[in-house]
A = this chain, B = another copy of it.
Amino acid sequence: MQSNTVQSIDVETYMQSVGRRARAAAILIAKLPTEEKNKALLAIADRIQAQQGEILEANALDMQRGRDLNLTAALLDRLDLNADRINAMARGCRQVAALPDPVGEMTAFDTRPSGIKVGKMRVPLGVIGIIYESRPNVTIDAAALCFKSGNAVILRGGSEAINSNLAIANCIHQGLADAGISTDCVQVIETTDRAVVGALITADEYVDIIIPRGGKRLIERIGAEATVPVIKHLEGLCHIYIDDEADVAKAVNVAYNAKARRYGICGAMETLLVAAPIAEKVLPPLAHRFAEKGVALRGCEQTRKIISDIEEATEKDWQTEYLDGILAIRIVDDLDAAIDHIARYGSHHTDAIITENQDKAQRFLREVDSSSVMWNASTQFADGFEYGLGAEIGISTNKLHVRGPVGLEGLTTQKYIVTGDGTVRD
């Protein structure tokens, strides 16, 4: 008990120091010119490549410990670094340097009857806390995005990657120093004490927003316990609805891609809804392609009249994000029934309609309440790079502030700029 108490006092002191330094750094970085930020990002990229050896050595320690702890093969793969992955980190950093800087962007000014002119300026949020698991590349990816958008960042990675993360942090700090910028702009938590997470997500005085990157359990826990606002990235229980006026070839291609391109991403389709009049045309060729790929189908009663050799889908299937080679299929009466199903079971992430009828497409796009709604396109497009954001720090399932893929602009806010000529209010 005694040692616990001492430890938690230490964490508190440590986190207050981290928080104070982040807040002070945020004031400096908010006013850095774009060129200086870009220079620092390029210096960091150079350091990452020059110090590949040190990073690989640190990573080897984490990998050894991971094997000793019997981490799963999937976890070990996410933890593992090699020359390719390190080069990708440096390349990512240079790509962020090349992106336009959102900070300082102004809207047009509107002259009001009183004589004042009113506009909005885009500004950084302040201090961003990132809590993430295993993948060490998040350390550099998230740091680059927060830095470019003028925010100070506090990074808390998983204990399994602590050596890799600290080696990468070392490169970041040297790059910042090369560019003459305070290393407090990017702080990587040096302790694996779990009390840090609790302290970070309740540090309202020092932290403006928390972005968790990891599994559903991590994100739900942080959402429940945080007092600092959280940009959540929860599950993607995505649907495709094949309308009776769909083009059959497009429908088959898009539905196949939406499931089979990659199972494990949040934009993967989990439930396929098919309008009854077109089911006999669409389902047999789709079933054939899915069978070749090894995707297991589960269907409603009507579906199983068309594809007979598949498991029955139960209520639970409509509620499940498989993230795997499994697909639930339901035949529905019409567009209304599809929209109702999505409203009831969906996770408001990404949903698509396949149809040649523009009016029905418009209704779907308007009425389905998801962060991305699509027409005749694969749900696997739900991604910041695909949308042209240049980079992505996550996909927000929040409704407030930022929804869907989050790029640099999502890490900023706006303030009102009002100018006059000695103007007073009546």
Contact check, A114 vs B417: say whether CB atoms are below 8 A apart: no
CB-nearest residue of chain B relative to A352? B418
Which of B250, B261, B352, B365 lies in contact with A121, CB distance below 8 A?
B365
Interface residue A425 (Cβ < 8 Å from any Cβ of B): yes
Task: Say yes or no: A419-B381 contact (C-beta < 8 A), given A343-B27, A386-B116, A401-B401.
Answer: no
CB-nearest residue of chain B relative to A251? B422
Offer 5 A-B interface pairs, CB within 8 angstroms, sorted by A: A257-B425, A371-B415, A377-B420, A381-B418, A403-B415
Taking CB atoms, residues of chain B closer than 8 Å to A27 are 343, 367, 369
Contact check, B209 vs A374: say whether CB atoms are below 8 A apart: no
Q: 1/0 per residue A406-426: CB within 8 Å of B?
A: 000000011111111111110
CB contacts under 8 Å to B, within A65-117, are 104, 110, 112, 114, 116
Interface residue A370 (Cβ < 8 Å from any Cβ of B): yes
Q: How many monomers of this protein are in the complex? A: 2
Taking CB atoms, residues of chain B closer than 8 Å to A208 are 399-400
Interface residue A253 (Cβ < 8 Å from any Cβ of B): yes
Contact check, B400 vs A404: say whether CB atoms are below 8 A apart: no
Contact check, A386 vs B112: say whether CB atoms are below 8 A apart: yes
Contact check, A422 vs B250: say whether CB atoms are below 8 A apart: yes
Task: Say yes or no: A413-B400 contact (C-beta < 8 A), given A377-B420, A420-B374, A422-B249.
Answer: yes
Task: Say yes or no: A424-B261 contact (C-beta < 8 A), given A413-B399, A415-B404, A419-B376.
Answer: yes
Task: For the complex, give the distance between the alpha carbons of A126 and B370 in Å.
Answer: 12
CB contacts under 8 Å to B, within A326-385, are 343, 352, 354, 361, 365-367, 369-378, 380-382
CB-nearest residue of chain B relative to A385? B112
Taking CB atoms, residues of chain B closer than 8 Å to A126 are 369, 399
Contact check, A377 vs B419: say whether CB atoms are below 8 A apart: yes
Task: For the complex, give the distance between the alpha carbons of A416 and B361 in Å.
Answer: 14
Most chain-B CB neighbours within 10 Å: which of A31, A366, A414? A366
Contact check, B422 vs A253: say whether CB atoms are below 8 A apart: yes
